[in-house]
Every structure is written in structure tokens, then in C-alpha cells.
Amino acid sequence: MAHRKNTKIKTKYKSIEECINSCGEMKEDTFWGKWHFLKEIVGKMNENGSFKLSTRERYGTAHEFVGNVKQQHDGIYLVGDIRVKHSYEIMFHVANVILNILGFWLFSQIQSDEEGYVLMKLLGIYAIGLGWFHVWYLYKSDTLYKHLLRRFASKH
């Protein structure tokens, strides 16, 4: 993902106050309120222009955009870093460990090439691959950036 550090999104707003007021009606992110079908930006934008934004869109909930609203000569920008939420990082790494243990356990049960053991080989490969896919997703997903562009970016 190319959009993690020093992310700049040119907004459609004309002033910092307009941006802060528009974002003021956003809901704060709660642990129990993660309905993926809502596809909305959640978080908090402070009066001084600092913000912490996330999304409820599917595949984007594991990340947050933290930074400040800045005015430059050609417009208003959201400037900050997209980072992985700590709770999701722990959860995905634990899932990876569990799935790797399960996969290696399935491989250790294989003693011959009988029909039942072919399925165990496939399930072992699937478990190990799924665990590593979760870790890859944490560090390569672009969903939050794309959702922020749809919500805040200027059209020109």
C-alpha cells in the first residue's frame, strides 16, 4: 500500500472551519457499533483540527487515519498517517498463530497417502494460508484510504 505515511487528501472544503463543522456530526467509533453495511466514516475531529478517523466499511475497520487538517495555498488537506488499530493487530496475529498451529497439526496427522489424508493436507495448507492472508491484509489493505477519498476528496 502506497498510502500509509504522510498521507495527504485534498478536501472539497473551502476553509478549515467548514471541514471541522462538516465532520463534527460524525459518530465516534464504538466497539459494538461495527455494522459493515453502513459504510460510513466514524471518528472524532477536534476544534484544533486534529482528527482520528476510521470506517465501518467492510475490510476497512482495522485501520485508522490520524492527523491534522492543514491549509495550503491550493486548498484544505487532511494530513496524517494511516495505521493499524492495535486491537486488530493483536487479534490478527493471534489468529495467524492459531491457524498455523492447526495447519501444522493437520500435517502431523498424515501418515500415508490414503483418501482421507488428502483432505487433511488441503485443510492444513488452507489454514496456514488463511493465517498469513490476515497478516498481509493488515499491512497492505487500501480500503480506508479509498473510502476517505470518496468522502472527503475534491472532485477536481
Nearest to 109 by CA among 117, 119, 98: 117
pLDDT surpasses 60 at 5 = yes
CA distance 5 to 128: 30
* Cβ atoms of residues 64 and 50 within 8 Å: no
Domain coordinates in residue numbering, the chain: 7-85+141-152, 88-136
- For the segment 87-103, the average pLDDT, to the nearest whole number, is 89
Q: CA torsion sign, 61 to 66 to 69 to 74?
A: negative
Q: Is the pLDDT of residue 91 over 80?
A: yes
**Residue-wise over 38-55: b if at least 16 C-beta within 10 A, else e?**
eeebbbebeeebebbbbb
pTM of the model: 0.76
Helices marked H in 2-154: 16-23, 86-108, 115-140, 143-152
Q: Which triple of cell numbers denotes residue 127? A: 489454514
Give residue-wise pLDDT tens across range 42-89: 888 888 888 888 887 777 788 889 999 999 888 889 999 998 888 888
